[in-house]
Amino acid sequence: MGSLVREWVGFQQFPAATQEKLGEFFGKLKQKDMNSMTVLVMGKGGVGKSSTVNSLIGEQVVRVSPFQAEGLRPVMVSRTMGGFTINIIDTPGLVEAGYVNYQALELIKGFLVNRTIDVLLYVDRLDVYRVDELDRQVVQAITQTFGKEIWCKTVLVLTHAQFSPPDELSYEAFSSKRSDSLLKTIRVGAKMRKQQFEDSAIGVVYAENSGRCSKNEKEEKALPNGEAWIPNLVKAITDVATNQRKAIHVDKKMVDGSNSDDRGKKLIPLIIGAQFFILKMIQGAIRNDIKISGKPV
């Protein structure tokens, strides 16, 4: 499925300060010979994936309604400006009726075949007080689908960040505690060693997509801690896109699941050899017992 590449009209809707910062970040990519970038957006339903896509593009490119079910298929939005193209892929929620939606993962995987993912935005909400087993299962399902390497190309985005935490906690303390608990869940769900996970250096960005988001003196959307979040997110995206880790290429082997099949086929000769060796040992032990008992073979 292709996507019509359009001029990035929404870029002009950003405040001048945001435009300047974004221009610098995209210039950094072009200096590294990256004339295009593909960003995959994933997470559970209702966490603000589509709204985050709209905020990043500066246009209402994905329909969002509180009374409307999420789209059933991935959608790619492409915009170009000054010789640089950004592709953002919005995806269905990964949970259905309290369980991991493996059908959605299969649809996403099929949509991505022959595409290269430069960055994954893993989206969840800031204003949630705990993580649970389902969060771990979602991370595990993503890992099984795309491999552990996907987390080395990831930014954790926490939405609904125009949020007042409980009285006993400051905004900084609550947001840090929430992000740390999700990062720990990612490490456990992806079955990554502590050092391996620390090396992946997953960045965390807080976002507020609603119209009630505060603004700073430069008219940029700003969070309670004063940070302009759209430039923060784009900076995190460009940092991940240009890190030393390889982008994730989704080929037919990954879609068909034949990577695991190939690994299994390579193990077959070893398994047969082990079975033959064990059988010979058992036969030898039986013959030895027969000799000791004085009975003929």
Give the domain ranges of the chain.
5-256, 257-297
The CATH class given to the 5-256 domain equals: alpha beta
Q: Answer yes or no: is 68 a known binding residue.
A: yes
C-alpha closest to that of 152 among 201, 116, 209, 114: 201
Q: Apex CA 141: angle with CA 136 and CA 147, to 5°? A: 110
| Single-letter residue type at 58 | G
C-alpha neighbours within 13 Å on the C-beta side of residue 169: 14
Q: Is residue 66 a known part of a binding site?
A: yes
Read off the pLDDT of residues 117-134 as tens digits, 9 standing for 90 and up: 999 999 999 999 889 999
pLDDT exceeds 50 at position 260 = no
**Dihedral angle over CA of 81, 82, 87, 88, nearest 10:** -50
Residue 65: closest CA among 92, 46, 88, 78: 46
Contact status, residue 82 vs residue 89, Cβ threshold 8 Å: no
Residue with tokens 């990831």: 154
Does the annotation place 49 within a ligand binding site? yes
Looking at the DSSP bridge assignments, the partners of residue 33 are: none
The pTM of the full predicted model, rounded to 2 decimals, is 0.84
Closest to 215 in 3D by CA, of 254, 141, 162: 162
Does 20 show up as a binding residue in the annotation? no
What number is the average pLDDT over the span 66-78?
A: 79
Cβ–Cβ under 8 Å, residues 141 and 102: yes
Q: Residue 263's pLDDT is what?
A: 45
- Asked if residue 34 lies in contact with residue 241, where contact means CB atoms within 8 angstroms, the answer is yes
Q: Is 210 annotated as a binding residue?
A: no
Whether 214 has a binding-site annotation, put simply, is: no
Mean pLDDT across the stretch 45-60? 95
55 annotated ligand-binding residue: no
Say how far apart CA 241 and CA 122 lie, in whole Å: 15
**How far apart, in whole angstroms, are the C-alpha atoms of residue 231 and residue 237?**
10
Is 65 marked within a binding site? yes
Choice among 3-17, 39-53, 109-123 with the minimum mean pLDDT: 3-17
181 in a labelled binding site = no
Cβ-Cβ contacts under 8 Å for 271 (sequence gap 6 or more): none
Would you state the structure tokens that stand for residue 227, as one six-digit string? 């940070």
Phi/psi at 41 (5° precision) = -115, 120
Q: Is 69 annotated as a binding residue?
A: yes
Helix/strand/coil for 104: helix
Pairing of strands 95-96, 221-222: unpaired
Q: Regarding predicted confidence, which is higher, 246 or 195? A: 246
**Is pLDDT above 80 for 244?**
yes
Q: Residue 129's pLDDT is what?
A: 87
Q: Is 235 annotated as a binding residue?
A: no
